[in-house]
Chain A
Amino acid sequence: MTVISLFKQRTAIYQKQLSRYMKYVLNDHFVLALLLLLGAGGFGYSNYVQTLSEGAVLPRIILVMIMTLVISTGTIATLMQAADVVFLLPLEQEVKKILEKNVWKSFILLAIPLSFVSAAAMPLLVVTLQIEFSNWPVFLATVLLLKYFDLRVQYSAFLEKDHGKRRLMISIVKILSAVGMIFSIFVNLYSGLILAVLLVLAGTFYLKRFYGNDKSLQWTIIIEKEENRLQKIYRFINLFTEVSFIEQHPNRLKWLDKWIEIQSRKNKDPHYYYIVRSFYRNQSYSGLVLRLTLIGILLILFIPGTIIKLILTILFLYLIGFQLIPIYQQFKQNFYFQLYPVKETGKIKSIQRLIGEILSIVAIIFIGVNLTQEMSSSGIMFIGSLIFIYGFTIYYLPRRLRKME
């Protein structure tokens, strides 16, 4: 056994695991909902682009933000494990080589979504910059160079012992990506490309000099980061099927305590007491609702047509409600609920109540946002959400939850 074969084995296991889980993710009717969403989004986007004229500023500012965000997402899949810190310590130099290789592997993998996003940005650029679509490769090359630089800095940060400096490096590379995008999107595509090339050349030279072979790896940081990365993936997959090795890192969110109290009112049910706190303090649940609500608000604001607004409202309520179902597993992870002298049905009831409440709040937000624009469609959205929430929580949920037992 060598380090290389060890990591090869790890990669194989990792890929096998992911592809096995992907089957569950892609099989579900969730894909249909996503396609519908993509269609509605695409439709809204193309309508929106047609209303734009050359030199429009606001949409380009938004595009810079989106592109910077997309470039900064995605980290190096190091595949390091907690036990490495005990077993592989003396092999630091070999591990470094493998990590450097993994920078490239991750880059190639991340290049795929980046190509799609950069292609999707082109129609907007074609209109606002008055260029041809055939300029896409220039934009793509800029985006990819910036991503490569981002990963390169991430790797160097593995060698930086100072916590503050490590953070600074990551922030600086984000700012530089934003600057690159500003040049591409506001000046012209070539200026952005030139900047990106210079950045990669100068940056790589600098990083090689300051983070050379004499610096040692920050093992615990790398392992912690890899665990976080995997947990993010598992949490996503967990929305579709049960993943056994999920870890929870709750956020205290003290400022929500008052609200939680209001929401639980005088309820004395231990299930609800537990589940409502799990929901808010566990970002995989509350963060998801927040993200989907924000996307929903944007689509409802920008896409005209009563029927489409109604469909979007129900679609988003469905997405949120459906993806909150795995919160039921919280009860399974906590064995106290098998010991407490309480009724079994409390579990399902508490989830029904929580999801019903969350969906109602989201529906009120959607309708409220729409009220600022239109009165008539808001009424229809109200009736639609009422029927949906009632049907979803009273009829669908209990059946689905019983199946999960």
Chain B
Amino acid sequence: MSLRIEHITGGYTRKPILKDLSFNVEDGELVGLIGLNGAGKSTTIKHIMGLLEPFEGQIFLNDRTIHMNSTLYRQSIGFIPETPVLYDELTLKEHIEITAMAYGLDIDKTHRKAEPLLKLFRLDDRLEWFPSDFSKGMKQKVMIVCAFIIDPSLYVIDEPFLGLDPLAIRDFLKLLDEKKQQGASILMSTHVLTNAEKICDAFVILHNGEIYAQGTLSQLRKHFKMPGASLDEMYAQLADEEGFII
């Protein structure tokens, strides 16, 4: 029971952006997907979500590919996109209902599940609001709530920290930790390395569509030959190398 990515080559048109990617996210594991802009993080996520189909290779979620049963596959993923996308004409309450409907959950139960989350993010008195009137941070909170109420076995989270206030970041990290304890697999792409270093169990560093390095922090230190270095320092090293290439 986990996410298994095996030799994925893929992209938007015929030109591959991802080249022979392989990594796993085990149960109860939080893996950070790290890379510079344009490294292929969002493309990887689109392949996992089944929004793009790989040219080669396979993606297994709980030992099933999307082609075996697309509904089941997709029901097991909670997705928080990079920029919040919400329905202009639906209220916050209706966003929770549509999520329940789409994931085949009981509406009342879902509302009950949403309650503490809404309270945590201070959205509980805004149920009748249109999220399009929210600030970017509040919209992001709505995306987080909608992903957590479905209790998926895999969370796919694309750069969640932008726009969130420090309090919300703290609460969000706590939530992630809780879910991890409960056995969920989490894949999170981010540029905020201090947060990543704090909570991720392992890292996948993408560079030009290929895996540059992967493993735990200590494994990465070995790879970069930088003992005791922080993720930030290793990342800077990668950026410098990028400079040499161009």
Distance of A10 Cα from B75 Cα, bound (Å): 24
| Chain B residue at smallest Cβ distance from A5 | B101
Assess the A86–B79 pair: CB atoms within 8 A: yes
**Cβ-based interface call for A87 (8 A):** yes
**With a CB–CB cut-off of 8 A, which chain B residues contact A88?**
98, 102
Q: Which residues of A contact B77 (CB under 8 A)?
A: 89
Report whether B74 and A86 are in contact in the complex, using a CB–CB cutoff of 8 Å. no
Asked whether A214 and B67 contact (CB < 8 A) given A90-B74, A91-B102, the answer is: yes
Q: How large is the interface on A (under 10, 10 to 19, 20 to 34, 35 or more residues)?
A: 20 to 34
Q: Is B99 an interface residue (CB 8 A)?
A: yes
* A1 lies within 8 A of B103 (CB): no
Residue in A3, A83, A93 whose CB lies within 8 Å of B86: A83
Q: Does A2 contact B (CB under 8 A)?
A: yes
B194 vs chain A, min Cβ distance (A): 27
Which residues in A have their C-beta under 8 angstroms from that of B101? 1-3, 91
B71 in contact (CB, < 8 A): yes
Interface flag for B66 (CB, 8 Å): yes
- Given A13-B89, A163-B13, the answer on whether A6 and B71 have CB atoms closer than 8 Å is no
Say which residue of B53, B71, B85 sits within 8 Å of A85 (CB atoms).
B85
Report whether A164 and B71 are in contact in the complex, using a CB–CB cutoff of 8 Å: no
Q: How large is the interface on B (under 10, 10 to 19, 20 to 34, 35 or more residues)?
A: 20 to 34
A135: interface (CB < 8 Å) = no
CB distance from A115 to the nearest CB of B (A): 33
B38-55 vs A, Cβ < 8 Å mask (1 yes, 0 no):
000000001001111100
A83:B85 contact, CB within 8 angstroms: yes
- In angstroms, Cα B71 to Cα A92, docked, is 7
In whole angstroms, what is the CA distance A93 to B73 when docked? 13
Q: Is B23 among interface residues, defined by CB-CB distance under 8 A? A: no
Q: Is B16 an interface residue when CB atoms closer than 8 A count as contact? A: no
Q: Are the C-beta atoms of A87 and B99 separated by less than 8 Å?
A: yes
Which chain B residue has the least Cβ–Cβ distance from A161?
B53
Are B75 and A90 in touch, CB under 8 angstroms?
yes
> A130 in the interface, Cβ–Cβ < 8 Å?
no
B114-141: contact bitstring with A at CB < 8 Å (1 yes, 0 no)? 0000000000000000000000000000
Which residues of chain B from 83 to 115 have any CB-CB distance to chain A below 8 Å in the complex?
A: 85-87, 89, 94-95, 97-99, 101-104
Beyond A3-B101, A90-B102, whether A9 also contacts B74 by CB under 8 A is no
Point out the residue from B14, B87, B94, B97 that lies within 8 Å of A81, measured CB to CB.
Answer: B87
A162 to chain B: closest residue by CB: B14
Task: Point out the residues of chain A lying under 8 angstroms from B102, CB to CB.
Answer: 3, 87-91
Taking CB atoms, residues of chain A closer than 8 Å to B25 are none
A82 beta carbon closer than 8 Å to chain B: yes
Given A92-B74, A161-B53, A216-B70, residue A87 in contact with residue B146 (CB < 8 A): yes
Q: Which residues of A contact B143 (CB under 8 A)?
A: 86
Contacts of A236 in B (CB 8 A): none
Complex Cα–Cα for A90 and B75 (A): 6
Q: Is B60 part of the binding interface, using a Cβ–Cβ cutoff of 8 Å?
A: no
CA distance A139 to B16 in the complex (A): 46
Given contact pairs A1-B94, A87-B99, A163 touches B14 in the complex (Cβ within 8 A): yes
A13→B86 CA distance, assembly (Å): 16
Interfacial chain A residues near B103, Cβ < 8 Å: 90
In the complex, the answer to whether B97 meets A93 with C-beta atoms within 8 Å is no
B66 — which chain A residues lie within 8 A by C-beta?
216
**Given the known A-B contacts A83-B85, A216-B50, are A89 and B74 also in contact in the complex, defined by CB atoms under 8 Å?**
yes
B79 touches A90 (CB 8 A): no
Q: Most chain-A CB neighbours within 10 Å: which of B74, B98, B99, B146?
A: B98
**Smallest CB gap from B50: residue in A:** A216
A6 interface neighbour in B50, B98, B104, Cβ under 8 Å: B98
Interface positions, chain A 1-37, Cβ under 8 Å from B, are 1-3, 6, 9-10, 13
Q: Is B81 an interface residue (CB 8 A)?
A: yes
Q: Which residues of B contact A87 (CB under 8 A)?
A: 87, 95, 98-99, 102, 146
Chain B's closest residue to A9 (CB) is B89
Complex CA–CA separation, A267 to B152 (angstroms): 61
Once the chains are docked, how many angstroms separate the CA of A89 from the CA of B99? 10
Q: Give residues 157-185 of B contacting A (CB, 8 Å).
A: none
Residue from the list A3, A89, A163 in contact with B12, Cβ < 8 A = A163
Q: Min CB distance, B240 to chain A, in Å?
A: 32
Q: What CA separation (Å) do A6 and B98 show in the bound complex?
A: 9
Which residues of A are found within 8 Å of B97, using beta-carbon distances?
Answer: 1
What distance in Å separates the Cβ of A254 from its nearest Cβ neighbour in chain B? 22
Known: A86-B81, A164-B14. A92 touches B70 (CB 8 A): yes
Q: How far is the CA of A9 from the CA of B94 in the complex (A)?
A: 13
Least CB distance, B224 to chain A, in whole angstroms = 35
Residue interface mask A206-245, B partner, CB < 8 A = 1: 0000000010101110000000000000000000000000
For B67, the chain A residues whose CB sits under 8 A away are 214
Q: How far is the CA of A292 from the CA of B70 in the complex (A)?
A: 48
Shortest B178–chain A CB gap in Å is: 22
Is A86's CB under 8 angstroms from B75's CB?
no
**Closest chain B CB from A140 CB (angstroms):** 37
- For residue A89, which residues in chain B have a CB less than 8 angstroms away from its CB? 49-50, 74, 77, 79, 102
User: How far, in whole Å, are A321 and B93 apart by their CA atoms in the complex?
Assistant: 48
Q: In whole angstroms, how far apart are the Cα atoms of A88 and B75 in the complex?
A: 10
Interface residues of A in 69-99 (CB under 8 A from B): 81-83, 85-93
14 A-B residue contacts at CB 8 Å? A9-B89, A10-B89, A85-B49, A86-B146, A87-B87, A88-B98, A89-B50, A90-B102, A90-B103, A91-B71, A92-B70, A161-B52, A163-B13, A216-B50
- Which of B's residues lie within 8 Å of A, judged by CB? 12-14, 46, 49-53, 66-67, 70-71, 74-75, 77, 79, 81, 85-87, 89, 94-95, 97-99, 101-104, 143, 146
